[in-house]
Structure 1
Amino acid sequence: MDTLFMNKTDVDNVLLCFPNQLDSCPRLQRFSVLKGAMYGFMLAAILMTVFGNLLVIFSISHFKQLQSPTNFIILSMALVDCLLGCLVMPFSMVRWVEGCWFLGDFFCQIHSSLDMTLSIASILHLCLVSVDRYMAICDPLSYRMKVTNGSVAVWIVVTWLFSCLFSFGIVFSKVNLIGLDEQMLNSCVGNCVLIFNKEWGVIAPLLNFYIPGTIMSCLYLKIFHVARKQAKMISDRTAVGLAGEKNQVSEQRERKAAKTLGIVMGVFLLCWLPFFLTTVIDPFLGFSTPVDVFDALIWFGYFNSMFNPLIYGFFYPRFQKAFRIIILRYVCRFTNSSNLVLQ
């Protein structure tokens, strides 16, 4: 009798996502302080992602000096990252903190599809930027002929279409769930988790991370090698009397190239590699990764969209000046900002 009473009490104390439904998923029980800290941290990340990328979008759209093929790729990438911050991250935040999905199965599929679409598109845009920079530095003579606004627009459209069709196709066809039993699917009401079987757990990361990441790594290594070689050639042509200044300029260029490329690849790998490693390994381990760990890895990937404006915006002087003009003129309403001109 005591045992039955204790079991009934334990069941009554369990918080459910939907208390009126017997097949509801259990709701995560967290301390209020922890929930407040999680909400505060993720809201700050969302705001930085949205407004940082809006600043990039407005800068390129407003200043003609920034409207180049390279910056059109960055503009499209900023749009992707901004949409991720607006349409995906807020719902992922509530799902992680509360441990529940409150919007039903159909919107769960929409959210999962958009999550995949925008995350993949962001990664592929980074790959496009690396290809563009490789052609500009390693083949500068034919760069202006091959890389035009039209050709860049085509590649941007292809990137968006591939990301959208791939993601929505997988989620709505449920090909990623073939062969998984009901216990693995955890089909209680209030659950919204995108999982992959062994086949798609390898195919999806391979197409959308490992191949683009390998291309980026190889191209940036080649760019760094060529940049060092060009700096040395320029240095050798400098007058002998300016040898000290020559070496200093050469070393500064090499350090700047190494720093920029190192930050680009370091942030990209730091944000996305843990998630995609887990995505590949988890199906072979019986989906044993804790939900909180998996959600944390997803947010590490989201942070790449927050860092993109910093990497591709704040590291370039023209973007820095454009941001300063926009903030002073339109945010702070600084009257003397009309005297500032982007050169």
Structure 2
Amino acid sequence: MDVLIMGGSHFLGRRIAEEGLRRGWQVSVFNRGRTGTNPEGVTALKGDRTSEEDLKRLAARGRWDAVVDTSGMSADTVEAATRALGPVAGRYVYLSTVSVYAGWPLLPLFEGMPTLAEAEPVEGMPTDVNVPYGQDKAQCEEAARVNAREALTILRPGVILGPHEYVGRLPWWLRRIAKGGVVLAPGRPEQPIQPVDVRDIAKFACDQAGQADGNAVFNAVAPIGHSTMGDFLAACIEATGRSDVELEWVDGDFLLSRGAKQWTEIPLWRTYPGTWQVSGRRAQDAGLVCRSLTETVADTWEWLSAGNNAVEHERAAAIGLDAAKEAALLAEWRATRG
């Protein structure tokens, strides 16, 4: 099977390329070659997806059984890519996000609910939710449908973790736990969460690329209740070997009242009720298997401990709670409890 990956040098795109190679496929990657590293064994096709001439040259290299698009961030670039590559691709798999839903993260979600290309954000959408990002990705989905049509499959992941993660959510928690001491743990330990391992998404993306039919949409997330915040932090303690760490669970309302920023300053912690209530049943019925979060955490720590670092990412600077602010929050929390 011949597969083209739009991207292929970072995190998810790289994992999809590696998974394709593992299956014995002929894998080509198309990127600018400026950041990241292409996996050994791929055919590297250098170019800029925003250039019409580069896309024409790329299309002339085809035909591919499937194109997997991991880097489409604007409707015009996705429309241009599907227009150029549609005639030379049997399938087109577009990697989107659960942020496209008009109700995320306030409402429980399934694939039939309206996106931000079809509806306004639901009433009461908080100001700290990045609605423009969801709108852009929803418009990308619509642009892909214009040309790919029946050959299109859309995958909507939520939070993706694992080795080579560049946003830095899991790496921040692992490094914080590794420092030891008393660690501020947000909210409740029993809070369900459902992040998914990058390797599991990569396998599912390749499964869908190999399907004979398209025209499908999947929420590519772990099952609801797959893990909890307490399980996650316990896994970080186990992976780093810091059995001396003390988790101090701090009430969520208290944290919000003191200006703690959910999702960024305290990664994976979010109080909105729909955040971790995204149905992945359709994807799981189609073959998505999600490994334990403990395995994801352990493998990421092993990767970090080997001296690896992900590529720089624009969102990474906002991730993590400053040590002084954490200490101040803990001190005030203890004072309020006498």
Task: Give the TM bin, normalised by the shorter chain.
Answer: under 0.3
Relative to the length of structure 2, the TM-score reads 0.27
| Structure having the larger proportion of residues in helix | 1
Relative to the length of structure 1, the TM-score reads 0.26
| Structure having the larger proportion of residues in strand | 2
